[in-house]
Amino acid sequence: MSFKKYTLNSLTETEALGQKIARLLCSQDVILLKGTLGAGKTTLARCIITSLNPNISHVPSPTFTLVQTYDTSRGSLWHFDLYRIHDAEEVFELGIEEAFGSGISLIEWPERLGRLRLPSSLLEITLDIIQESDAREARLTLSESWDQRWKM
């Protein structure tokens, strides 16, 4: 496990991070997106999704639908937003186990997962708003497989 930290001063820098992550994604990867409301979780998710499929012109936040799926160059991508989940058992009804077994999972508000066992190919990203600016700090926790890919 390793850690990386980036300052994202603009949407362009967020897009560049999203593009790098997209290039390294493999089937059955799980990306956990953490941060307060407005920290940029959905923006980063959009950057990753559109990097994998430039034909997607609109990536809505799945806050109300809870999950959106996309066909990408790397297979199915499941974008979960668990903000409105109140019981970890509800997560199973969204098809999260199927996503873990067959596609790529982007999960906003992963704190709502409870004690669900996560796959080993995990990238955790915590986004924080830098006070008195529009910049964001992105702190990445890379599993062993992500650490190896990140160095390439």
Q: Say how far residue 27 (Cα) sits from the centre of its chain.
A: 14
How many secondary structure helices (H) and strands (E) does the chain include? 5, 7
How does residue 117 score in pLDDT terms, banded at 50, 70 and 90?
confident
The pLDDT tens digits of the residues spanning 8-58 come to 999 999 999 999 999 999 999 999 999 999 899 999 999 999 999 888 777
Considering the domain boundaries, does residue 35 fall inside one? Answer: yes
Q: Is it the case that residue 62 has pLDDT exceeding 80?
A: no
Considering the domain boundaries, does residue 16 fall inside one? Answer: no
Give the DSSP H/E element, type plus range, for residue 11: helix 11-24
The pLDDT tens digits of the residues spanning 120-133 come to 899 999 999 998 88
CB 43 within 8 A of CB 14: yes
3-state class (DSSP) for residue 43: helix
How many Cβ atoms are within 10 Å of 145's Cβ, its own excluded?
17
How far is the C-alpha of 57 from the C-alpha of 152, rounded, in Å? Answer: 30
Considering the domain boundaries, does residue 36 fall inside one? Answer: yes
Considering the domain boundaries, does residue 78 fall inside one? Answer: yes
Check which CATH number belongs to the domain holding 68 and give it: 3.40.50.300
- Which residues span the domain enclosing 94? 28-114
pTM equals: 0.91
For the chain, the domain total comes to 1
Cβ neighbours of residue 122 closer than 8 Å, sequence gap 6 or more: 29, 30, 31, 32, 141, 143, 146
Considering the domain boundaries, does residue 144 fall inside one? Answer: no
Question: H/E/C letters for each residue in 48-87?
Answer: HHHHHCCCCCCCCCCCCCCEEEEEECCEEEEEEECCCCCC
